[in-house]
Amino acid sequence: MAIRIYNTLTKQKEIFEPIIPGKVGMYVCGPTVYDSCHIGHARALVVFDVIVNYLRATGYDVTYIRNFTDIDDKIIDRANQLQVSSREIAEKYIAEFYEDMDAIYVSRANVEPKATDHIQSIIQIIEQLIHKGMAYHEDGDVFYSVSAFSDYGKLSGRKLEEMEAGARVDINPKKKNPLDFALWKAAKPDEPSWDSPWGKGRPGWHIECSAMSRQYLGDTIDIHGGGKDLIFPHHENEIAQSEGAFGKCFVRYWIHNGFININHEKMSKSLGNFKTIKDVLKTYHPEVLRLFLISSHYRSPIDFSDKSMDDAKSVLERLYALCKRCLEHKISIHGSGDMSSSEYWPRFCEAMDDDFNTAIGISVLFDAMHHANRIMDQSVNILQDENKPVLLSIFEDIFRMSRILGILNEDPLTFFEKQKSKALAQQQVDVSMIEQMIQERALARKQRDFAKADQIRQKLQSINIILEDKPDGTIWKVR
RNA sequence: GGCGGCAUCGCCAAGUGGUAAGGCAGCGGCCUGCAAAGCCGUUAUUCUCCAGUUCAAAUCUGGAUGCCGCCUCCA
């Protein structure tokens, strides 16, 4: 079954056919490193992480490139504010980026190039564009001439004339057309700069992606991704640069992810509702964030709220509870290891093949979970049960699905310990007191003094401690 | 002003012509001393509204209403 991808360029789902069968070249726009990553970044990163995982699982050899924009106005501003070099700012936030990515289980790309390491290739493309008459040099700046590229606007669905009519862009007297954009910016005093045929300066924002994607993936790449906001002008300009300079199709499939709102409001610094990844991880397990991010289709807008996060949390806890239950029965949660498949993996693939429909994929995970629990409910001794192989094959699939989605990375026991201590930290309850009360209750139960036992249960419940009586003792958790 | 998107159960959310997935919450049952967890069952004759095309529409067309995004840095 072929994978179908919604292509922003054609506005429809298309059968995915890479240029070279079996191989995929994929480029995703990474962050401008001038501040901490927020959950919007997390969404884009997680979405493309899942996509890459899935492409690889279906047998594609994926070369995944994700860049860092490490030179830019915002970085320079921040550096000036803090009285440090822009390089220091970039390095600080790149380090932080990796911390965040590791925390939320986003894998490294094959190459993670930085703009400042590719100044020569950038200059070469600009020279080529000037040579072809598609760019012009003006007083140390170089601009791309949008009117020289007849396809300008094809990605974002705009027409040059219409944009000019409604344009309220800054009046830059150096530009021939207000929509022309900078390929090279002349250095202002004290700004970081590189030598170029046009004097000291630095690259414009869009040109780095044209340069780096070509260097690592060639003239035409299979997939280019990023957030919806990048469609215009960033990706539109990348097309103009790359196709203008090399005369070949730049990207075959454009994939764009939707935005995150917070309590139905746009997430923005002015509204004060910006959430960084680190903020969210103070309250929620990283896989809760992942699960929340992929429980809707990647192109839809999603609303971040406590309710949605709590929903994702209970889902994750149920999955881990199943894993824990298996471990208690000495069943490997990594399945049989021989890739013997139940019905769930093919169903999951069917969902993912349709434009990476993770929402349906997760529902398949649920079916598998119910099935596994049902088998264990009905079994007296699962190790000798005739259904053991079925259970193992279900777990084989649960494990494979979780590898794609990037969840269930932790040992279940560790997971619940962490959840417990996180909850305890917020509740401020005394653990030894709880355990003492459980002892008392155990004694009461032994003496069949259920009134007293229930009283203790009630008391603990009132401070959000829930008890679970198991055959071999009582366990507790924080609600 | 230009371009585009969205509106599906209390909440979240799939579903692009064939008769409404899934999750959370709720309810009933099994299990339990009672619970919890788990399992089973159940909850939208209906998809913002109006009109139309069709044997057939949440899905297509036209209109209305509401919400949102992009056009300036942005995932």
What number is the ipTM of this complex?
0.94
A313 and A283 Cβ atoms separated by less than 8 Å: no
Same fold, A4-262 and A306-413: no
Domain ranges of chain A: 4-262, 306-413, 429-478
Task: Measure the CA–CA gap between A319 and A412, rounded to whole angstroms.
Answer: 9
Q: In A148-274, which residue ranges form alpha helices assigned H by DSSP? A: 160-166, 207-217, 236-246
Q: A306-413 maps to which CATH number?
A: 1.20.120.640
The nucleotide lying nearest A359 (C-alpha to C1') is B14
Phi, psi dihedrals of residue A315, rounded to the nearest 5°: -60, -50
The nucleotide lying nearest A477 (C-alpha to C1') is B36
The nucleotide lying nearest A355 (C-alpha to C1') is B14
Looking at domain A4-262, does it have CATH number 3.40.50.300?
Answer: no
Nucleotides of B under 7 A from a protein CB: 1-5, 11-16, 21-25, 32-40, 68-75
The Å distance, CA of A375 to C1' of B30, is 15
Give residue-wise pLDDT tens across range A17-30: 999 999 999 999 99
Protein residue closest to B34, using CA and C1': A454
- What sign for the dihedral angle of Cα A207, A70, A42, A320? positive
Mean pLDDT of successive 10-residue stretches along chain A, which has 479 residues: 88 92 96 94 96 96 97 93 94 97 97 97 97 94 93 88 62 83 92 95 95 97 94 93 96 94 80 87 95 94 92 96 92 74 92 95 96 93 88 94 96 93 81 93 94 93 89 87
Give residue-wise pLDDT tens across range A229-240: 899 999 999 999
Residue A165: predicted pLDDT: 58
Determine whether the distance from the CB of A295 to the nearest atom of strand B is below 7 Å. yes
Determine whether the distance from the CB of A231 to the nearest atom of strand B is below 7 Å. yes
Determine whether the distance from the CB of A440 to the nearest atom of strand B is below 7 Å. no
The Å distance, CA of A445 to C1' of B33, is 9
A207 and A149 Cβ atoms separated by less than 8 Å: no
> DSSP secondary-structure letter at A71?
S
